């Protein structure tokens, strides 16, 4: 790697710029109202436009060598995922992080991107709501992969909390996805939900279907995504026959909180926010709501960050 290489990203938008001419979407309109325009992506390497540097075409983009020997992997356009050359550790990568953030995870997994690689977003356009949203996501993707670091994401049904959890770990090279709700053969709708979740995840993520979340957290060394805590608690209450005696589930709850506190991995967990719904009509429903609400509080207290997801928008909790 050439640590002396200097790369300057002069513009970062997609080929049509941002806002796109003639587009009235909310993303483009926000910038237009603010009088802001971002030009199509351009960059220099050691003062030379990257297009004028020595470059080799690779699937999805270009392997560029700067005047000083630095190597840069460049995405050809929106949606492109450039393949790295064999056994090359790049000094910088210019990627479509808006459309394909998981490609950064793959490049890290292959060793093409290391902690010393400069990561830049290009071909940015109205596929994302705003430059501020790009910065928010980039902070997750540039975060060191090592733990301990715990994140609790809360939200109601279909709030987008699972998608947000996956997004936060999209650029991580080593993720274990813990599905606490197994596919039920007699429920096609539930099976379809599980299949939709699987299709969103990068193919190299490992999936573990288990309720032994404490065991997974104790053994994990990469990143772990637990989806979700509410389904896990349902299984625990069932196993303890605790619907009419909630105290029977508390030892398992205590074990989970202890494992969460002791986790050395980077962990993201999804849970249901129960405090905004109607009061359950049954005693067992109210007991479950209370158990999950208290568990959410305990996990949040042991988390470096927590957030509430509402209608696909994220509110960070202090």
The alpha-helical segments, DSSP class H, found in the chain are 26-34, 101-110, 131-141, 161-168, 188-200, 213-219, 229-239, 250-262, 283-301
pLDDT, residue 285, reads: 86
Distance, CA of 90 to CA of 84 (rounded, Å): 9
CATH 3.40.640.10 fits 149-317, yes or no: no
* Closest to 91 measured CA to CA, from 107, 113, 58, 120: 113
pLDDT, residue 166, reads: 97
Task: Give me the active site residues, please.
Answer: 197
pLDDT, residue 290, reads: 94
Distance, CA of 155 to CA of 161 (rounded, Å): 6
Q: What is the mean pLDDT of each run of 10 residues along the chain (318 residues)?
A: 88 97 96 97 97 97 96 98 97 97 97 96 98 96 92 95 96 96 65 67 91 96 95 95 94 98 97 84 88 97 98 96
Domain boundaries, given as residue ranges, for the chain: 7-141, 149-317
pLDDT, residue 182, reads: 59
Element (H, E) at 158: none
């Amino acid at each position: 790697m050439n640590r002396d290489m200097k790369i300057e990203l002069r513009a970062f938008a997609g080929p049509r710029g941002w806002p796109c001419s003639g587009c009235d979407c909310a993303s483009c309109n926000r910038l237009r109202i603010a009088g802001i325009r971002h030009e199509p992506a351009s960059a220099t390497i050691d003062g030379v436009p990257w297009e004028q540097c020595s470059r080799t075409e690779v699937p999805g983009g270009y392997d560029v060598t700067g005047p000083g020997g630095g190597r840069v992997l460049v995405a050809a356009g929106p949606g492109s995922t450039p393949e790295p050359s064999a056994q090359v550790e790049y000094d910088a990568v210019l990627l479509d992080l808006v459309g394909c953030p998981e490609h950064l995870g793959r490049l890290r997994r292959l060793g093409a991107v290391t902690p010393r690689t400069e990561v830049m977003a290009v071909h940015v356009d109205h596929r994302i709501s705003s430059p501020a949203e790009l910065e928010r996501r980039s902070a997750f993707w540039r975060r060191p992969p090592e733990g301990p670091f715990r994140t609790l994401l809360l939200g109601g049904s279909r709030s987008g909390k699972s998608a947000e959890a996956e997004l936060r770990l999209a650029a991580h090279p080593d993720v274990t996805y813990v599905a606490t709700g197994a596919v039920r053969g007699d429920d096609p709708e539930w099976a379809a939900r599980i299949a939709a979740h699987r299709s969103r995840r990068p193919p190299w993520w490992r999936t573990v279907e288990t309720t032994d979340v404490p065991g997974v957290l104790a053994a994990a060394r990469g990143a772990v995504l637990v989806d979700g805590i509410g389904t896990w608690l349902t299984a625990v209450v069932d196993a303890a026959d605790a619907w009419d005696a909630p105290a029977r589930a508390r030892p398992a709850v205590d074990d989970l909180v202890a494992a969460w506190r002791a986790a050395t991995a980077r962990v993201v967990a999804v849970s249901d926010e129960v405090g905004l719904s109607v009061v359950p009509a049954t005693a067992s429903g109210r007991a479950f709501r209370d158990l999950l609400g208290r568990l959410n509080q305990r996990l949040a207290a042991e988390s470096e960050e927590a957030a509430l997801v509402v209608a696909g928008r994220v509110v960070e909790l202090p």
